[in-house]
Structure 1
Amino acid sequence: MSQPNQAAGQSNRRQFLTAAAATAATAAAAPRAFAAHPGGSGRLKVGLVGCGGRGKGAVRDALNAGDDAVLVAVADAFEDNMTSAHQQLSEEFGDRIQVPEDQRFAGFDAYKQVIATDCDIVILATPPGFRPQHFREAVDAGKHVFAEKPVAVDAPGIRSFMETARDAKDRGLAVGIGLQRRHDAAYIDTVNRIWDGALGDEVLYTRVYWNNAGVWTRPRRPEQTEMEYQMRNWYYFTWLCGDHICEQHIHNLDVSNWIKQAHPVSANGMGGREVRTGKDHGQIFDHHCVEFTYADGTTMMSQCRHQPNTWSQVSEFAHGAKGHCSVSGHKFYDRTGKPTDRVRAKGENPYVQEHIDLQKSIRDGKPLAEGENGAIATMTAILGRMATYSGQVVEWDQAIQSDVSLAPQRYAFDADPPVLPNQSGRYPVPTPGGDTAWSRTPSGEKVVGAATAT
């Protein structure tokens, strides 16, 4: 299988250090013995935490990435999800699914049971609200990790994830993040050409989009507790999903950061709910439009929308003095719009390639370290959400220091989630310009708009 330039995985040509890194405490845990299979061969044993569509997809990608990778343990909060995933994967991969009954787990603590097995790599693919605590548990157990994006839903989660990522690096543990564009041969070549001056001496601005009709809803069933309902319908609750600006648009935001070799320092924007306003649409917005500003004064113009029968676009563009580039289309144009170049690099499916790169890094004893970048990309999306929820200009340094956690007080199916419906079954929705404690800085300054049930 082809191996793209590793600039994708770690931007090793011009890797940037960010101001955000200073906000996370340095990991102080004692080094652990080096992880499984350095410089060698043999089976890489995979454990799965989160058996939804993305979790099953990540297992497929991991097994397709290496013939000697096997699945040895699975976990999900819901037993039916776990059982279904195990059955589907067994039918697809046969004896490479080596998960005995006593290594199939369900419940809120099931992730701990997978991590306690002898797996080498843990795939974390639950809703992102759980990611920081699952990542911490895996690294404490000395496991390599593939974590799906986003990696958190709030600033405390980001700081936790960054600290754990540093700890993983200190311990020689590989960490891959599901931002597969950084492992796509055509994207890598396109970004390299931008860095080499194809658009001029600098990128003046970028445009990024994730506009489509939206995703599934899962209606409430009478027997469900409120916690189970929200977890089944997790995409529509900010404490679980982070809003779709985090869950999907993060890919496009990360491409702009990759090109700029930086993260934004501020954001302002607007958003709301116009179309997806039903009870099963929870509390998230159906559109966000954000202008991000980088430290050099350049901007990223961002749109994401979940509205049927509207302009659909999932793409990134970069503009400079010489012209512009369709980054997602891998094409370059001069200032008149005339095509000047096209990247024709071909490689492995990037969803598979990111697992090839992760597994190779383990075997070569040069562990991939994508955790901090995953946190930066996620924080960029959270910054945009804070701007649209509040209707205010929000500074990066202010946002990442927020002490507001969106997590519930207790993780159990009979516990109350952080948000509850009113008597009409409606959930609190952010109102730009309102007065609320949805998100505050440590000094108590409000940075996220009011929550009212509509």
Structure 2
Amino acid sequence: MTSPQNPSLPTPERDGELTHSSCNDPSRRKFIQTGTAVSAALASGLATTRVARGDEPVDNSDSQLVRIALVGAGGRGTGAADDSLSINENIKLVAIADLDEKVPGMTRGRMAKRHGEKVDVPDEKLYSGIDSYKAILEDPDVDVVMFATPPGFRPRYVAEAVDAGKHVFAEKPTCVDPAGYRICWEAHKQAEANGTCIVTGTQYRRQTNYIEAVKRIHEGAIGDIIAASARYCGNSIWHKTRREGMSDTEYQIYNWMHYIWLSGDQIAEQSVHNIDAINWIMGGPPESAFASGGRFTRPEGSEMWDSMSVDYKYPGNRLVSFKNRQVPGAQSDNSNTIYGSNGHAVIYGINRGAFLYDKSGKEIWSMEGDLSAAYKQEHKDLVDAVRSGKPIVELGETTDSSMTAVLGRMSAYTGQDVTWDFVTKESKLDLWPENFDIQGELPEPKYAVPGKTKLI
């Protein structure tokens, strides 16, 4: 599925992008699991928040070919493929699938200009249509499947890829409702049983200034963590007008950011980065959320809200104040502030860096950010883990952060104080359309109104 470009995002992050395994061959499975170990970043301990690794020497010979395929070849998908092809040696892009029949060939051409022989996609492996991803899952020559479709598709697609024995790269968020949350956690467990990898697009977990700042916070550099605030506030977001001949379902997928079953609203689709950082710092998800917000500037037909403010309560009675906003002309802010008993820390989005301060406000540590390197590192870590046979499986961690965003949205939409236990264990909310049909009718949904929208 193809994605419109997204120049109006509040930051240069590759958020809001669209588009809509396997070692089933025993000899291929054995081949792909006997190569190099994890990347230098992991070996040096920079990513110790991830799955624990052994202390064996690392062989960085890149001697084994890894073949990747892309599902969803829009802006975010091509960005992910470009990052993987840029940082990894002895790797090939071998298949591309997208909803739009024109996109796979165009993406192949662009990637070939940048990466030459690393792109080896014959015409018969350019797939299009709503079920085009299935041909990739059935291909025994594909080792890693990269999913950059709209988030609403992600739980089911990733689960199918895990069932097929594929290694997976999944963009964030990984779910937009409690039903998807449970699918993702089952897929996480299945990947662990398979011995296959799932790496996700929460690139701040691999950005060195984030890693170092969180490490120092956990070591007590600002004392005990008392509270925090996080903001993902910017201006407007793209909106696409309906093309002639599109079915209801096709149009909603084309304009997917504005439909909650596909995007989860901005709090899930974009703000999950900040929420994931807070969960990382706090050691896990919150206990509850109490939220508000509203809409003032969205176009007719959009389900999205303009803003949300959420009070998340974490274990130990620690409060996190979270805000997001997309309002033209309003001030932007992408930051996370952590308040400790002996000081505070500020970790900014993108490349603005991280800073620690003592109780008097004196800076005691800082480090610049390099987002581009983090985008690439997640793909280096994935390919190294595939070669080493020591899988990274981080879907559950990102799913918890995605569900934390959904928790805040559900509280804001309904006007209720909502608990983590309710959304993960009791909620019946499933946004996936009943009797999904790409050519079918799909009623235009109404935006949520607190006090009227029910907590399900």
TM-score range normalised by the length of the shorter chain: 0.7 to 0.9
The correspondence for 2:410, drawn from 386, 390, 404, is: 386
In structure 2, relative to structure 1, the CA distance for the partners of 1:192 and 1:110 (3 Å cut) is same
In structure 2, relative to structure 1, the CA distance for the partners of 1:245 and 1:346 (3 Å cut) is closer
CA deviation after TM superposition for structure 1 residue 374, in Å: 1.2
CA contact (8 A) 1:150 1:247 kept: yes
CA contact (8 A) 1:9 1:182 kept: no
User: 1:322 aligned to 2:361?
Assistant: no
Give, in whole Å, the separation in 2 of the partners of 1:154 and 1:160: 10
Partner of 1:291: 311
CA deviation after TM superposition for structure 1 residue 293, in Å: 0.4
Give, in whole Å, the separation in 1 of the partners of 2:323 and 2:143: 39
Give, in whole Å, the separation in 1 of the partners of 2:417 and 2:82: 42
What RMSD over aligned residues (CA atoms) do the two structures have, in Å?
2.1
User: 1:8 aligned to 2:28?
Assistant: no
CA contact (8 A) 1:6 1:12 kept: no
Q: Which ranges in structure 1 are unaligned for 5 or more consecutive residues?
A: 14-36, 422-426, 441-454
User: 1:412 aligned to 2:437?
Assistant: yes
TM-score normalised by the chain length of structure 1: 0.85
CA deviation after TM superposition for structure 1 residue 342, in Å: 1.5
Give, in whole Å, the separation in 2 of the partners of 1:119 and 1:176: 16
What is the identity, as a one-letter code, of the residue corresponding to 1:256?
A: I
Give, in whole Å, the separation in 2 of the partners of 1:255 and 1:143: 28
CA contact (8 A) 1:48 1:55 kept: yes
Partner of 1:356: 380
CA deviation after TM superposition for structure 1 residue 340, in Å: 2.0
Percent of aligned positions that are identical: 35
What is the identity, as a one-letter code, of the residue corresponding to 2:300?
A: K
CA deviation after TM superposition for structure 1 residue 141, in Å: 1.1
Partner of 1:67: 89
CA deviation after TM superposition for structure 1 residue 325, in Å: 0.5
Partner of 2:32: none
The alignment partner of 2:41 has SS state of coil
Give, in whole Å, the separation in 1 of the partners of 2:364 and 2:233: 27
Give, in whole Å, the separation in 2 of the partners of 1:346 and 1:228: 37
Give, in whole Å, the separation in 1 of the partners of 2:447 and 2:308: 14
Partner of 2:322: 302
Alignment of 1:13-412 (within 5 A): 41-117=63-139, 118-200=141-223, 202-276=224-298, 278-279=299-300, 282-328=302-348, 329-343=353-367, 349-401=373-425, 402-412=427-437
Give deviations 1:50-97, integer Å, cap 9, x for gaps: 111111000011111212111001111221233332222222222211
CA deviation after TM superposition for structure 1 residue 225, in Å: 1.3
Give, in whole Å, the separation in 1 of the partners of 2:347 and 2:373: 17
CA contact (8 A) 2:152 2:432 kept: yes
Give, in whole Å, the separation in 1 of the partners of 2:115 and 2:144: 18
Partner of 1:23: none
CA deviation after TM superposition for structure 1 residue 348, in Å: 7.1
CA deviation after TM superposition for structure 1 residue 190, in Å: 0.7
Give, in whole Å, the separation in 1 of the partners of 2:354 and 2:64: 38
In structure 2, relative to structure 1, the CA distance for the partners of 1:271 and 1:344 (3 Å cut) is closer
Give, in whole Å, the separation in 1 of the partners of 2:77 and 2:48: 21
Give, in whole Å, the separation in 2 of the partners of 1:160 and 1:38: 35
CA contact (8 A) 2:88 2:380 kept: yes
TM-score normalised by the chain length of structure 2: 0.85
Higher mean C-alpha displacement, 310-319 vs 242-251: 310-319
